[in-house]
Amino acid sequence: MSNDQAKERVFRALDDFAIAIPSWGFANTGTRFGKFVQAAAATNIEEKFADAAEVHRLTGVTPTMALHVLWDLPNGVADAPKIRALEAKTGIRAGSINPNLFQEAEYKYGSICNPSAEVREKATAHLLTSVEIGKALGSAEVSLWLSDGSNYPGSQSIRRRIGWMKEALAKTHAALAPGQTLLVEYKPFEPAFYHTDIADWGMALEIARSAGPQAKVLVDTGHHYQGTNIEQIVAWLIELDALGSFHFNDRKYADDDLTLGSIDPYQIFRIFHEILFEKSKGGVFNAPTFMIDQSHNLKGKVEAMVQTVVTAQELYAKAALVDHAALAELQDSCSLVDAEEAFRGVFWQDVRPWLAEWREARGLPAHPLAALREGGYVERITEERKEKNTAGASSYA
Ligand code: PSV
Ligand code: MN
C-alpha cells in the first residue's frame, strides 16, 4: 500500500468514526472509600451538556452524550423537554438511555432478579420508563447494566433469578419502538462478590436473545477477567449478529475506569480490527456503536475525555491500516511471522500527523488537548463551579 493510499484509508476511517461520551464522566465521582470533589466538575445536567459540547467542539466526533436516568432525568419522561432544550442549545444529542437499578435501598438484594415481586415490578417499571424516555428523545439505545447478584453461596437461587430476569426483559423488549435497541451489558463481579446475574458475554447473549431480536450485547472493555481475549468475544458476537455496542475504558485489575489504551492499547487495536475486518467485507453488518464509559476522579474530567477520544481515534486509524487482502494471504499460507509482522507493524505506525491533517482539513483544531488548554474553558468552569463543588464535598463514611 502506498503512503497516499494508507493516508486515504485513515481519512476514510476517521470520517466514519464517532464515539459517545457519558454524562457521568463530567460529574464528581469517587471510590467506595470517598468522593474526590473537583472544582470544575459538572454539578447539573446543563453543565454536563456544556462540557460535552466543548469536547465535541474540539474533536468533532462526539455528537452524543449517554444519559443515566436517575442522575440526569430524575423525573423520568417529564424531564425530556428539558433535555430537548439542552440539545437545541448545545448541539449535543442524547445518546443511550441508561436505566439505574443499582442505587436505591430496595435493590439491596437485586432489582429484576430480586425475590420480591414488588421490587421486581418497581425495577421493570423503571425499565419501561427508560424505554419511554428513549422514545421521547429519539434515542435509539436503552443500555442496561444490572448490578444484581449475591455474596454468599446458597443464599439466592441462581436459576430462579434467571427466570425473573427473562420475564422483566421480555416486557421491556415488548415496549420498544421499531428503531430502538435494548443493550445488555455484562460484568463478572462488583458490587456482587459471589455471583452476578449477568456475568459474561454468554449470559448476556442468552438474556438478549430471550428478550427478543432488538436486544444486543454491550461489551464494556473493563468488565473481563485478566487475560480474557476480548477481541475473540467481539468476533463471535459479530458472527452471531449480536454485537450492539461498546463501553470503552481500560483496566489493570478490574473495573478501574482507566483511560482507554493506557494499559493495553494493542487490545483496543485488535478489537477495532475485528470490526473493520467485518466492514471491509462489504456485506450487511449491523455495526456496533461506540461509547466511552470512564469516570475519572484524579484527572480533570474534560481533559480526560478529550484525551480518550483522541486515543480512540488513533487506535481506530491504526486498525484501518491493516491490509485485509494481504493479511488473508499470509494467514492462508500460514506465514506466521509475516502475518504477525503485517498486523503489528501498522500498530506501531505513528498516525498522529495524519490525524492532525484530517482535523485541520475539517476545520477542527489539529491538537485538541492543546486547544483545550489554550481556549481557557477549564479555567472558566473552575471559576464558575468551584463554590458549588466545595459546598457539595462529601465522603461516604
Ligand atoms: C458498571 O460498572 C458500568 O460499567 C455500567 O455501564 C454503568 O452504567 C456505569 O458503569 C456507571 O458508571
Ligand atoms: Mn459500562
Please write the tens of the pLDDT for every residue from 42-71: 999 999 999 999 999 999 999 999 999 999
Inter-residue contact 126 to 114 (CB < 8 Å): no
Give the C-alpha separation, 368 to 18, whole Å: 15
Query: Given this model, what pLDDT does residue 396 score?
Result: 45
* Residue 302 CB-density burial (10 A; 0-12 exposed, 13-18 middle, 19+ buried): buried
Interhelix angle 201-211/158-174, nearest 10 degrees? 50
Q: Are 338 and 330 in contact (CB under 8 A)?
A: yes
* Domains of the chain, CATH where assigned: 3-391 (3.20.20.150)
Q: Is the CB of 255 under 6 A from ligand 1?
A: yes
The CA 236 to ligand 2 mean position distance, Å, reads 20
Cα gap 101→84, rounded to integer Å = 24
According to DSSP, the β-strands at 289-292 and 195-196 are unpaired
Sign of the four-CA dihedral 379, 381, 386, 387: positive
| Whether the CB of 224 sits within 6 Å of ligand 1 | no
pLDDT of 393 = 57
Confidence of residue 391 (pLDDT cuts 50, 70, 90): confident
- Residue 397 pLDDT more than 90? no
- Please, which residues have CB within 8 angstroms of residue 334's CB and are 6 or more apart in sequence? none
- At residue 244, the pLDDT reads 98
Per-residue pLDDT tens digits for 183-201:
999 999 999 999 999 999 9
pLDDT on residue 1: 84
| Confidence at 390, pLDDT banded by 50, 70, 90 | confident
In terms of Cα–Cα distance, which of 227, 138, 219 is closest to 184?
A: 219
Is there a cis peptide before residue 353, judged by omega within 30 degrees of 0? no
Within 10 A of 264 (CB to CB), how many other CB atoms are there? 16
- Confidence band of 344 (pLDDT split at 50, 70, 90): very high
Whether the per-residue pLDDT at 322 is higher than 90: the answer is: yes
pLDDT higher than threshold 70 for residue 395: no
DSSP state of 270: H
Name the closest-CA residue to atom 6, ligand 1: 145
Position 392 pLDDT exceeds 80: no
Atom of ligand 1 nearest to the CA of 190: 2
Residue 246 and residue 23: Cα distance in Å, rounded?
A: 16
Query: What span, in angstroms and rounded, lies between the C-alpha atoms of 344 and 326?
Result: 14
Residue whose C-alpha cell reads 456475568 in the numeric block: 199
Ligand nearest to the CA of 101: 1
Average pLDDT over residues 236-263: 97
pLDDT band at 113 (very low <50, low <70, confident <90, very high): very high
Q: Is the CB of 147 under 6 A from ligand 1?
A: no
